[in-house]
Amino acid sequence: MHVAIPLYPRFTALDAVGPYTVLAMAPGCTVTFVAAEPGPVTDDQGALTLTATASYADVPAPDVIVVPGGPGTMAALSDEALLGWIRQAHEHTRWTTSVCTGSLILGAAGLLTGVKATTHWGLMDLLKTFGAEPVSERVVTEGKIVTAAGVSAGIDMALTLLSQADGAETAQMVQLAIEYDPQPPFACGSPKTAPEGMPERVLALMSETI
């Protein structure tokens, strides 16, 4: 299985690296980071640069694409090189997927009309702009389009994909290999469980970075 992960300026690193680490560990699975041109792409914090090793043109027909999100999503919504590659690759994929606001990019590519999808909890309404039906779940599958919630949800999505691609046993082995037995220090990772008023404050901080 060949997985392609597009990188664009100001993506969020964990959106890409969570699914990457899970999928690249599976036997027979290769992952390629792609961009308009091969080379360095810097993340949303400006402190981490990942290298795209191939151009979009180099990878026209991957089995899976995983589109990360991040503050750079808003600019990426009009990045025709990225959108064109997604549209074209989508014709060939087994799964077309996203993490966090990456689903808005799938939407801008025209793939979410009438499709159930998710994104970061704070930007759920924006999905409607693209004709999608927002769903507040960790991982949402409709046909071959699979969208994950915010940032860390890409790990859960990748394990889910792996289970479908190679069977539960492979996914379980990878989950055990990365010791994914999460023990978050707080029960506040969702607006449903966060302290009162905190979602609004997080949104205010996020809006400064977009």
**Residues contributing to the site for its own copies (CB under 8 A):** 12-14, 17-18, 20-21, 24-25, 30-33, 40, 45, 47-51, 53, 100, 120-121, 138-139, 149-153, 155-156, 159-160, 163, 168-169, 171-173, 175-186, 188-191, 193-195, 198-199, 201-202, 205-206
Cα distances (Å, whole numbers) of residue 31 to 3, 7, 82, 89 = 5, 13, 18, 15
Q: What is the DSSP letter of 188?
A: -
Nearer to its own copies, 83 or 98 (CB): 98
Which residues, 6+ apart, have CB-to-CB distance to 80 below 8 Å? none
Nearer to its own copies, 83 or 161 (CB): 161
Of residues 51, 55, 83, the one with CA closest to residue 67: 83
Strands 116-117 and 39-42: unpaired
Q: Tell me the residue type at 21.
A: T
Nearer to its own copies, 32 or 88 (CB): 32
Shortest Å distance, C-beta 48 to its own copies: 6
- Per 3-state DSSP, the chain is made up of helix, strand and coil in percentages (nearest 5) of 35, 20, 45
Residue reference for tokens 């606001």: 101
Q: Spot the catalytic one: 29, 100, 146, 151.
A: 100
Shortest Å distance, C-beta 83 to its own copies: 24
Does residue 188 have an active-site annotation?
Answer: no
Shortest Å distance, C-beta 64 to its own copies: 14
Largest Cα–Cα separation, the chain = 48
- How many other CB atoms are found less than 10 A from the CB of residue 125? 9
Nearer to its own copies, 83 or 154 (CB): 154
Residues labelled catalytic:
100
